[in-house]
Amino acid sequence: MCGIVGVVGNRNATDILMQGLEKLEYRGYDSAGIFVANGVNNGRLIKSVGRIADLRSKLGIDVAGSTGIGHTRWATHGPASKENAHPHTSATGRFILVHNGVIENYLAIKEEFLANHEFNGQTDTEIAVHLIGQLVEDGLSVLEAFKKSLHLIEGSYAFALVDSENPDVIYVAKNKSPLLIGVGEGYNMVCSDAMAMIRETSEFMEIHDKELVIVTKDSVSVQDYAGNSLERESYTAELDLSDIGKGTYPYYMLKEIDEQPSVMRKLISAYSDNGQVKVDEAIIKAVQEADRLYIIAAGTSYHAGFAAKNMLEALTNTPVELGIASEWGYNQPLLSQKPLFIFISQSGETADSRQVLVRANEMGIPSLTVTNVPGSTLSREANYTMLLHAGPEIAVASTKAYTAQIATLAFLAKAVGDADGNEKAKAFDLVHELSLVAQSIEATLSEKDSIAEKVEGLLAKTRTAFYIGRGNDYYVAMEASLKLKEISYIQCEGFAAGELKHGTISLIEDGVPVLALISSDEAVAAHTRGNIQEVAARGANVLVIAEEGLARETDDIKVVPVHPYLSAISMVVPTQLVAYYATLQRGLDVDKPRNLAKSVTVE
Ligand code: F6R
């Protein structure tokens, strides 16, 4: 979702902004723009709809200077257009602003303070920068005007503001939306995430909600909205530039699918010692003290929660309930006496999840965040964090984060089970089983060509498809269908195999692809086979993905079996490849599906 980058200091701002925006592309956007301050002409503002490459093609040599701000926009208020693209300017053009988030009271502000103003587009951001400009016209200093605006504005925001009359400063503030300061020698930066700045610096400074930061080339001063100075240490991020490159891969998604065996092994070394599972004692205690675990997440992370549910219940002996984060903001069910909230989030920034966490904190409910991004908002604001150790995930379609989420929750379940003396935990050698999972994934990855071939006949032309499965395979079907639809645009549903006949089977007609998943259990497999017969009899084009041992000779993709608690990890990998190849074959950009954002920072 919207991305911000800004720089002030002794560097070529245009280059830094453009490279930063390219690194933010993965978050999802539909237009982009930069402002570069320049003493001679006050600065140049360039915007364009479409890709960063389009923006780049519009830059002339006059777009030069050492202070600038840039933005990738994911449309919320108003369509993707040049007028709505950021940066936005105040009425006189003096102030230039980029914004990530949603200003809830922008119409009220417009009515009350900006009745005579004309606007170029429909964004809430334009109102914010006009407000700042108007307050300065009314006699306030720039800092006072910015502060007063922050008091007036309600909603979520990360702002970076430049005054073209004094471009040695970038004014920054945030509430709910992510923003980081990058600290350099003779220059400082501001950015939505560390990845866009890692080429320039690995030294970062966090900004908390409702803090204002004045950034110059040599200083970063943080204050609260009342003007009190706040001490803030910087930290060194352990990001490696090579982690965020594509290497020789045509797409990040394929690279990330391929990385899954090594992620499983990294998790083994992060969460075990000499074969013994090791998880923070405080986290184990928090689970032991809970009478119910509530997993709150969105999209793929929500599906990972389902895939881990049975294992968590079996090993911790505690009921697990799942919640869709965007629903729980308004529609929270009656909670148990001693709940523990577990947030699963690759990015750690998902606004829907965060709103639930804010409420949980207000209610004093303990919380654990399972995330890929150390220092992310959900990690900082929860009581406990478990990291996914998956390395940066750049492709919009989540793959390695999903499998890492299930594996991380397996370590949690096993650690609690061991501490409780749970018999099932005792019998479950997770470290060994997870190393078998890594091997099973490797075996599937070696079958890429044959999977690509099978997909071609099945999905290259279809408009609709179904995934079906029972038990854990049903949970994998939910994730598999999300993966397929989000990047290939095939309308796909993940269905409990036995439920199809209760209505949805009426959609099955000649040639409709049905992908069936079969793992873990002979008796359950037999039932799924029955459901396959039902759809085949109605003309469905069936592809079966089955664990060896349960597989028949005619099945299409065979997966090396793993422990049933972990079967979602090995069973999902062929479905990731199915989505990848179907998308390639349909001539679409695998890494950047339309309308989607990697980090969903609005509710
Ligand atoms: C789909 C996908 C999304 C995310 C969802 C939550 O491939 O990635 O469904 O899972 O937007 O994001 P996180 O996990 O960052 O909270």
- Please, what is the average pLDDT of the chain? 94
Tell me how far apart the alpha carbons of residues 20 and 182 are, in angstroms, rounded to a whole number: 12
Instruction: Examine the domain organization and report whether 356 and 460 are in the same domain.
Output: no
Instruction: Examine the domain organization and report whether 218 and 319 are in the same domain.
Output: no
Query: Is 598 noted as a catalytic residue in this protein?
Result: yes
Question: Taking the model in full, what pTM does it have?
Answer: 0.81
Tell me how far apart the alpha carbons of residues 97 and 79 are, in angstroms, rounded to a whole number: 19
Q: Which of 192, 193, 300, 399 to mutate to test the pocket of ligand 1 (most atoms within 8 A of CB)?
A: 300
CA-proximal residue: ligand 1, atom 7 (nearest): 397
Tell me how far apart the alpha carbons of residues 288 and 415 are, in angstroms, rounded to a whole number: 10
Instruction: Examine the domain organization and report whether 101 and 210 are in the same domain.
Output: yes
- pLDDT value at residue 193: 83
Cα–Cα nearest to 268, from 419, 407, 385, 413: 407
CA-proximal residue: ligand 1, atom 5 (nearest): 299
Encode pLDDT of 114-155 as tens digits: 999 999 999 999 999 999 999 999 999 999 999 999 999 999
279: tokens are 């998880």
Encode pLDDT of 146-172 as tens digits: 999 999 999 999 999 999 999 999 999
CA-proximal residue: ligand 1, atom 11 (nearest): 299
397 close to 584: Cβ distance less than 8 angstroms: no
What proportion of the chain, given as a percentage, has pLDDT over 90?
Answer: 82
Instruction: Examine the domain organization and report whether 256 and 398 are in the same domain.
Output: yes
CA-proximal residue: ligand 1, atom 10 (nearest): 300
Evaluate whether residue 521 is within a structural domain.
yes
Instruction: Examine the domain organization and report whether 456 and 440 are in the same domain.
Output: no
- Which residues, listed in sequence order, are joined to residue 236 by a DSSP beta bridge? 203
Name the band, by pLDDT with cuts 50, 70 and 90, for residue 242: low
Q: Which of 74, 301, 371 to mutate to test the pocket of ligand 1 (most atoms within 8 A of CB)?
A: 301
Kindly list the distances between the CA atom of residue 81 and the CA atoms of 17, 35, 73, 85, in Å, as whole numbers in the listed order: 20, 17, 10, 6
Instruction: Examine the domain organization and report whether 140 and 255 are in the same domain.
Output: no
**pLDDT over 90 (residue 76):** no
Q: Which domain holds residue 197?
A: 3-240
Evaluate whether residue 601 is within a structural domain.
no
Evaluate whether residue 407 is within a structural domain.
yes
Tell me how far apart the alpha carbons of residues 132 and 257 are, in angstroms, rounded to a whole number: 46
Tell me how far apart the alpha carbons of residues 257 and 381 are, in angstroms, rounded to a whole number: 30
Tell me how far apart the alpha carbons of residues 309 and 410 are, in angstroms, rounded to a whole number: 10
Name the band, by pLDDT with cuts 50, 70 and 90, for residue 300: very high
**pLDDT over 90 (residue 354):** yes
Instruction: Examine the domain organization and report whether 388 and 496 are in the same domain.
Output: no
Instruction: Examine the domain organization and report whether 212 and 140 are in the same domain.
Output: yes
Average pLDDT over residues 71-87: 91
* CA-based torsion, 430, 433, 435, 438: positive or negative: negative
Evaluate whether residue 599 is within a structural domain.
no
Ligand 1 close to Cβ of residue 397 (< 6 A): yes
Evaluate whether residue 99 is within a structural domain.
yes
Name the band, by pLDDT with cuts 50, 70 and 90, for residue 417: very high
Distance (angstroms) between ligand 1 centre and the Cα of 28 equals 12
**What is the CATH classification number for the domain harbouring 77?**
3.60.20.10
For 299: left if phi > 0, alpha if psi spans -120 to 50, otherwise beta; the answer is left
- pLDDT value at residue 241: 67
Instruction: Examine the domain organization and report whether 21 and 152 are in the same domain.
Output: yes
Q: What's the start-to-end Cα distance of the chain, in Å?
A: 11
CB under 8 Å to 172, separation ≥6 — which residues? 6, 158, 159, 160, 161, 179, 181, 190, 207, 212, 213, 214, 215
- Gyration radius (Cα) of the chain, Å: 25
Element (H, E) at 415: helix 400-420
Encode pLDDT of 476-531 as tens digits: 999 999 999 999 999 999 999 999 999 999 999 999 999 999 997 888 999 999 99
Q: What is the CB-side half-sphere exposure of residue 348 using CA atoms within 13 A? A: 26
Distance (angstroms) between ligand 1 centre and the Cα of 327 equals 15
* Structural domains of the chain, count: 3
Domain end among 198, 221, 240:
240
**pLDDT over 90 (residue 248):** no
Domain end among 426, 444, 462:
444
Instruction: Examine the domain organization and report whether 206 and 350 are in the same domain.
Output: no
Domain end among 409, 424, 444:
444
Query: Is 2 noted as a catalytic residue in this protein?
Result: yes
Kindly list the distances between the CA atom of residue 589 and the CA atoms of 321, 574, 586, in Å, as whole numbers in the listed order: 36, 19, 9
82: tokens are 């040049």
Kindly list the distances between the CA atom of residue 66 and the CA atoms of 6, 53, 173, 492, 603, in Å, as whole numbers in the listed order: 10, 21, 21, 49, 35
Instruction: Examine the domain organization and report whether 540 and 586 are in the same domain.
Output: yes
**What is the CATH classification number for the domain harbouring 580?**
3.40.50.10490
Tell me how far apart the alpha carbons of residues 292 and 32 are, in angstroms, rounded to a whole number: 45
Instruction: Examine the domain organization and report whether 393 and 476 are in the same domain.
Output: no
Identify the active-site residue in 2, 23, 483, 492: 2
Evaluate whether residue 597 is within a structural domain.
no
Evaluate whether residue 603 is within a structural domain.
no
Tell me how far apart the alpha carbons of residues 88 and 70 are, in angstroms, rounded to a whole number: 11
Evaluate whether residue 63 is within a structural domain.
yes
